[in-house]
Structure 1
Amino acid sequence: MSRFFYQLGETLSSLRKNVAMVASVVLVTFISLSFVGAAALMQIQVNQMTDDFYDRLEVSVFLCTESSSASACPTGAVTADQRENIEEMLQNGAASQYVSSYRYESQDEALQNYLAAHEDSVRAASVTAEDMPESFRLLLHEPQEYPVVSELFAAVPGVENVADQQEVLESIFGILNGLTVVALIIAAVMILCTVLLVSTTIRLSAFSRRRETSIMRMVGASKSMIRTPFIMEGVIAAAAGAVLACAATWVIAEFMLGQWLPQQVPGVVFISAQDSWIVMPGLLLVAILLAALSSWLTVRRYLRV
């Protein structure tokens, strides 16, 4: 125990002597791990949004109108018999095994939804109900089965086309995943800077204490006794930066994702501060392991004992 307290005292003494360098390590570690934490939170958010949106993913079976092209609707606008046949497919036919629920949207309802979504558009004023197609909006048991459902309705009389929101969602999630990758690349560069800065700090600390190290070597101190304070110095500085990064991660999750964004983007379920606690142990572990490894390699190379 006395040996541990001696090493801790030596470490704290060295930290006081190298305040500027230690502060640099703390700040660089804080910034780099904050990027890592933000990227991790973003990926958790993307995964949650993916699950949430895919659970609500609708497949739209658009019916033929008077203005539909002849190639898509050779028989013209959908008839009552054709509409009933499509609904029978959804209730008891081939498509029923894939559809968990469905709803019918008339031309008037389609117009009202269009006007609500494009109320500021100049073109909206000239759109009439006859311009809007009737449709059946389907929720599937498994969103991945969309190609099967699309194929079932592709050649059904009265159906103009079948569409889903998956392509749009995949492009959005692709952008979000790209931002995650960018954040991780920046974090990787910053972590490399942290490792180099820790190594430089330990090297300068070893140089400034070379006289003390020589005396300890002469009185028979073991290698671990001499090297441990230097390694602890790097670990403590990096751990302090990691604690700040954990605090920043919690702030992002609590105030930005938990409070601000839900007000700006209603209807989207955002992660909460609880999810940040999943990320924090990883940030601390990364900081301690990288600092310990870089300090140990530096001590082995520049501190001959």
Structure 2
Amino acid sequence: HYKEQFGDSPLSSSLTPDQMQESYRIKLKDPEKYQVVATAFSGRDGVQSVQDQKGILENLFGLLNGMNWAALAVMALMLVVALMLIVNTVRVSAFSRRRETGIMRLVGASSFYIQAPFIMEAAVAGLIGGGLACGMLLVGRYFIIDHGLALSEKLNLIQFIGWDAVLAKLPLVLAISLLMPALAAFFALRKYLKV
């Protein structure tokens, strides 16, 4: 195993098993069953101690989980704020064109026919915003990770987000940026455009 990991090292050809450190590391499939392994091996001949590295890293994992929940809360807040801005913008747009929509209603236009331009306007604006977000995501991935963090020798142990993960999220961002404003405009205008 040492030769597989460090085969290009000059020591790998001359090192023998009796010269290596007398320790054994295992990674459990189910880390919750650590106590079973610890009780089975502690106190045996040749076993000095059994260490659980989860205890060492517990605070770090707690911090990362807290940051994950905080990011989800900020995302939910931003979605609510975006929906409120979309609804407000569509209502202002409908209010500024109330005379035209009133005339369309009086000549017999259906509700959806009157709402369609406002829905399309919101969807196009959302799609432009989604396109800008996708562009910023690609530029950020290219400049920050590829030409910034990945080149740092201190951070070579961290596996950064790959291009495949970034490119897989772009259609989702564009779909949400198109559908969310369109649906918000549709529901906001149902009540507001009645003459």
- Normalised TM-score (structure 1): 0.51
Aligned to 2:36: 148
Q: From the superposition, tell whether residues 205 and 141 of structure 1 become closer, same or farther in structure 2 (CA, over 3 Å).
A: closer
- The within-5 A match list for 1:97-116 is 104-105=20-21
Q: CA deviation at 1:159?
A: 3.0
Gaps of 5+ in 2: 1-18
Q: What SS is found at the alignment partner of 1:217? A: helix
Q: CA deviation at 1:140?
A: 4.2
- Normalised TM-score (structure 2): 0.76
Q: CA deviation at 1:210?
A: 1.1
Q: CA deviation at 1:237?
A: 1.4
Conserved in 1, the CA contact under 8 Å of 2:28 and 2:34?
A: no
Higher strand share: 1
Matched, 1:207 2:95: yes
Q: What SS is found at the alignment partner of 1:160? A: coil
Provide Cα deviations, 1:223-254, integer angstroms capped at 9, x if missing partner.
22111111111111122112212222223333
Q: What SS is found at the alignment partner of 2:24? A: strand
Provide Cα deviations, 1:129-164, integer angstroms capped at 9, x if missing partner.
xxxxxx413234736364333222212145332114
Matched, 1:267 2:154: no
Aligned to 2:6: none
More relative contact order, 1 or 2 (CA 8 Å, 6+ apart): 1
Q: CA deviation at 1:182?
A: 1.6
- Percent identity, aligned pairs only, is 37
Q: What SS is found at the alignment partner of 1:139? A: coil
Given the alignment, which residue of 118, 138, 142 partners 1:230? 118
- Decide which structure has the larger Cα Rg and report it: 1
Conserved in 2, the CA contact under 8 Å of 1:235 and 1:288?
A: yes
Aligned to 1:177: 65
Gaps of 5+ in 1: 1-102, 106-134
Q: What SS is found at the alignment partner of 1:194? A: helix
Provide Cα deviations, 1:180-222, integer angstroms capped at 9, x if missing partner.
2222212221221111111111111111111111222222222
